[in-house]
Structure 1
Amino acid sequence: MSELLTIAMPKGRIFEEAAELLRQADFQLPPEFDDSRKLIVDIPEENMRFILAKPMDVTTYVEYGVADLGIAGKDVMLEEERDVYELLDLNISKCHLAVAGLPNAKKSEIAQKVATKYPNVASTYFREQGEQVEIIKLNGSIELAPLIGLADRIVDIVSTGQTLKENGLVELEHIEDITSRLIVNPVSYRLKDERIDDLVNRLAQVVQPV
C-alpha cells in the first residue's frame, strides 16, 4: 500500500481547476468530490486525503505538517511567508495583485491610507517604491474602502477588472502576476519523496505552459 498523501486546498475556483488537473493527470477522483460539503474528503482508491480550507490557511496547514502538500495562490505565499517548499507552478487561477483607487484622485502629501487583506505584501511594495503609507487591514469588500473614505487606495487581487469597474475604481499600479502553486511540507518531502515526486511528475505533464 502506498503512503497516504494529505493535500490542503481551498474551495472555489482554485479547487475546481486543481481537481481538473488531477483528473487529467489520471488521478481517480469521484464526481461527488467536487460537490462535497465535508471539510476532510478521503479518496481510498488513490490513498489521498483532501483538507478543504480557506485560501489563507492552506500554507499554515502545510507548514505545520497536518497536510503534506497544498495548493495555494502565490499571493497567499507572499503574504504568509510560511516555511514550505514550492514544487510546481500549476498555472491555474491566473490573476494579479494591483493598486487601485478612484480615478483622478489626488495624492495627498501626508501618508496615504491603503486598505488591503495583504498588509505584508502592500507594506513591502510601497516601501520599495519609497512611499510612506498607512496600511489598513480588511478581510473582505476591499473595494468599499475608497468609496466611504476609509482609504485612498487599495491593494487587492484583480482578475478581469470587472469588480473594480462596477465600483467606479481603476487599476493604478501592477504589483505581481499570480498563479496557484503546489507546495510541500519539508519533512513530508523527505519522508514521502517518491510518492510526492510521482504526483509532481504527473501534474507537470498536464500543466499548461505559462
Structure 2
Amino acid sequence: MNEDRYLTFALTKGRLANQTLELFEEMGISCEEMKDKSTRKLIFVNEDWKLKFFLAKGPDVPTYVEYGAADIGVVGWDEVLEENRNVYEVLDLGFGKCRMCVCGPESARELLLHHERIRVASKYPNIAKDYFYNKKHQTVDIIKLNGSVELGPLVGLSEVIVDIVETGSTLKENGLEVLEEVCALSARMIVNPVSMQMEQARIQELVLGLRKKLSSGRQA
C-alpha cells in the first residue's frame, strides 16, 4: 500500500453525489471546495484522507472505474447493469431506491403473458435484452431511445417500455402502468479490480465505515 497515493472517487452528478458526500461528512470526511457552486474545478481533494473526487454522468462512472481513472465509483445499479463493465460491486448504499420495470398500457399485459414478439423501447437496451431473452425467454425487438421513453407506446413506436420507475406518476398521467418488475435499483459503490488488490486495506476501511453508518439507521 502506498500511503502517499490518493484514492480517486467518481461520483454520479446530482442527487447521488450529494447524498454520498453527506454520508462521508458523517464519517468525518469533508470536501468543502465541492460545495462552491461557482467553482470551475473538475477535481476536488481531501488532503487529510488522501482522497480525490470528480463528478461524472452516470453511464460514464463504470467506465472511469473499469479503466482505473477512478479507484472507486458511486453510481446507480441501473448504470452498472447497463454498462456491464469489469468492476467489483462492494456496497449497496441504500439510497436512490427505485425499480426497473416493464411498463405499458393494460392492453399489453396479454402480449407479455403469451410471450408475443413485441417492440420494446428503452434507454437501457442491454438490461431490456437480458430481461426478455435470458429471464423471460421472449423474443422482442428492442428500440434504443434517449428521451422520454413513455412516448413509445403513445405514438405506436413500441408496445411497452423498460424504464426506471420511482413514483409512477408520469406513467399514470399518460395511461401507462407497471406490468412487470425487472429488478430493484439503488446507489452502489463499485471498485476497480486492480485498485481492490493494491489498496485493499484502505478501501475496506472506507467500506466498513460506510456500512456502519448505514446500518446505524441512516437510510435515505
**Is the TM value for this pair above 0.5?**
yes
Extract unaligned runs of 5+ from structure 2. Answer: none
What one-letter code is carried by the residue in structure 2 that aligns with 1:169? L
Output aligned runs, 1:98-137, within 5 Å.
Answer: 98-105=101-108, 107=111, 111-127=117-133, 128-137=135-144
Q: Residue 34 of structure 1: CA displacement?
A: 7.0
- The counterpart of 2:5, out of the listed 3, 6, 12, is 3
Aligned residue pair count = 210
Q: Is the 8 A contact 1:28 1:46 kept in 2?
A: no
Distance 2:97 2:202 in 1: 27
Q: Could you tell me which residue of structure 2 aligns to residue 178 of structure 1?
A: 185
> 3-state SS of the aligned residue for 1:107?
helix
1:73-152 mapped onto 2 (5 Å cutoff):
73-105=76-108, 107=111, 111-127=117-133, 128-152=135-159
Shift, 1:195, TM fit: 1.6
Sequence identity percentage: 46
Task: Please give the alpha-carbon distance, in whole angstroms, between the structure 1 residues aligned to 2:36 and 2:100.
Answer: 28
- The CA deviation at 1:126 is 1.0
Q: Distance in 1 between matches of 2:116 and 2:205?
A: 54
Partner deviation per Cα, 1:47-105 (whole Å, 9 max, x = no partner): 21112111011101000000000012111111111111111111110001000012334
Secondary structure of the residue aligned to 1:160 is coil
Cα distance in 1, alignment partners of residues 57 and 36 from structure 2? 16
Mapped to 1, the partners of 2:46 and 2:140 lie a distance apart of: 47
What SS is found at the alignment partner of 1:195?
Answer: helix
User: Is 1:56 paired with 2:59?
Assistant: yes
* Partners of 2:128 and 2:189 in 1: CA distance: 24
CA distance in 2 between counterparts of 1:67 and 1:31 reads: 19
Write the deviation string for residues 142-199 of structure 1: whole angstroms up to 9, x where unpaired. Answer: 1121112111110001111122122221111011111111111011111122221121
TM-score, normalised relative to structure 1: 0.91
**What secondary structure sits across from 1:88 in the alignment?**
strand
Of the three residues 67, 72, 87, the one matched with 2:70 is: 67
AA aligned to 1:57 is D
Quote the residue 2:43 is aligned against. 40
The CA distance in 1 between the partners of 2:36 and 2:210, in whole Å, is 19
Residue ranges of structure 1 left out of the alignment (5+ in a row): none
Is 1:155 the counterpart of 2:167? The answer is no
Question: What's the offset of the Cα at 1:140?
Answer: 2.3
CA contact 1:25–1:205 (8 Å) conserved in 2: no
What code does the residue aligned with 1:7 have?
F
TM-score (norm 2): 0.87
